[in-house]
Structure 1
């Protein structure tokens, strides 16, 4: 997780530096009717394209784990001889690659806003997995090593999910923008993973995640719009949950499985196609502030 956070900070610093070189000509024209290439990418909603569109996302998933090995010991007293044995074990959790696919819609806000520039939602399927490895040494009552035991547990959980995210856009130049998103996802397991060990498992407490998960997540991506006159752009991004709402485990977004915790992350590649406007639809009439106030005064009479 530390490496992932470091990567996000480096990306943010780099894009802020690039943004200092991008100075749009006219802030008002950016948002209303300016078809030039300097228009912010997320605001490309005039001309032939509407503010709504379809989005398709896919990519790999991965589960991060705490680094290092956890150690412990357990005593066993033989009922026949009365002699005791000592088990000294260590456990290590490892992440596994998975994948996801999603389809949904994008909705760009009608008016310029400081924080919310567009929002999107989607439904899909994702696969999270993990491994837990245990090595155990067995000692007799004279602290003599009499044997070693090994075991491993592996799982993949498959979730149907729904997601909603609100996005803020930070313009870099006419073809690139930094995309920040906060959102919520609701996941339901339709493919529950393996709960058994292959080999010996140390007598540690186990916890298995419930079928339903609800999380808050954050995503950081780089938006790319190849063509100024097309309603298409795509965004590669990193998405991680930062707060687990259900099942409640002190707020941790980790998936509990076996005796370990697995922190999920997604590398998302999202493609967006804005819908074309109806050519027979009359364009909206722009009203200046003086006329708008006059209309308001007439309504209040």
Structure 2
């Protein structure tokens, strides 16, 4: 239920704004450019850690018991996508749609502190360990955006989209100190719905810059109760993507007058002569 309420609350600004604004308000209205074009999406990724530390009670094969405190840590990565966008002029809700292909890198770390449960010890026996990961994905995304003009040359962009990610390479290193740690890794293919909030700035006759922040709403594959976070090692990380989208509108093709064709003897001013007609 919480996930449904979250999605509805995020979509409300998009729907309510779209009732009053036309999509073509955000794009410069110049006759030399098409209402479509290329987009470039350089990005910085970050794996947001859980707000609460994970606590576990762990039993080893030697009948020892450890109380383990796990602390995730986010790290930055990079990404880049290139694609196309198309303005939707006949809709009061959708301003433009876009699709893109690219790569993105997710990185993170995890530390733990394991305290031996032994009341006979004068001082606690503690084991410390840590792990790091890096995942490189090929990604494809499709987005639907409603944009509201805020002032001349600025606009607010609410976007709902889907992304399909396929992990190309990966790196994991974990010092578990011989404890039976569960090291979870998401599936190689990830399919999600996401939300993005951005602010557009018109920089010229055919150029717009849109800094934005994006995060998943639900994960459809691999299915895990539709959770929007990824289970890696013993923690759940939320991918957050900071983008700087560059929209470049296409030039309209040059209009050239058709060349005059030399009429043949069988043609008149109104077309080919029909010799069967009396006139």
Band the TM-score falls in, shorter-chain normalisation:
0.7 to 0.9
Matched, 1:57 2:35: no
> Shift of the alpha carbon at 1:156?
0.8
Matched, 1:203 2:187: no
> Shift of the alpha carbon at 1:52?
1.5
Deviations 1:76-117 (A, max 9, x none): 464xxxxx53312211111111110111111111x3311111
Cα separation, partners in 2 of 1:176 and 1:77, compared to 1, 3 Å: closer
- The answer for unaligned runs of 5 or more in structure 2 is 1-5, 258-279
Deviations 1:215-237 (A, max 9, x none): 0011110000023xx11111000
> Shift of the alpha carbon at 1:241?
0.9
Q: 2:256 & 2:214 partners in 1: Cα distance?
A: 38
TM norm structure 1:
0.74
The aligned residue for residue 181 of structure 1 is 159
Q: 2:161 & 2:99 partners in 1: Cα distance?
A: 9
Q: Rg larger in 1 or in 2?
A: 2
The aligned residue for residue 41 of structure 1 is 26
Instruction: Classify the secondary structure of the residue corresponding to 1:155.
Output: strand
- Aligned counterpart for 2:67 among listed residues 66, 72, 88: 88
Residues 120-131 of structure 1 mapped to structure 2, 5 A cutoff: 120-131=98-109
Instruction: Classify the secondary structure of the residue corresponding to 1:168.
Output: strand
Q: 1:226 & 1:120 partners in 2: Cα distance?
A: 20
Instruction: Classify the secondary structure of the residue corresponding to 1:221.
Output: strand
Q: 2:64 & 2:48 partners in 1: Cα distance?
A: 35
The aligned residue for residue 194 of structure 2 is 217
Instruction: Classify the secondary structure of the residue corresponding to 2:55.
Output: strand
TM norm structure 2:
0.79
Contact 2:60–2:179 (Cα < 8 Å) also in 1: no
- Aligned counterpart for 1:241 among listed residues 216, 220, 235: 216
Deviations 1:35-66 (A, max 9, x none): xxxxx223x35400001101111121001121
**Number of equivalences:** 243
Instruction: Classify the secondary structure of the residue corresponding to 1:193.
Output: strand
Structure in which a larger fraction of residues adopt strand? 2
Structure in which a larger fraction of residues adopt helix? 1
The aligned residue for residue 249 of structure 2 is 274
Q: CA RMSD in A?
A: 2.6
The aligned residue for residue 264 of structure 1 is 239
Contact 1:134–1:202 (Cα < 8 Å) also in 2: no
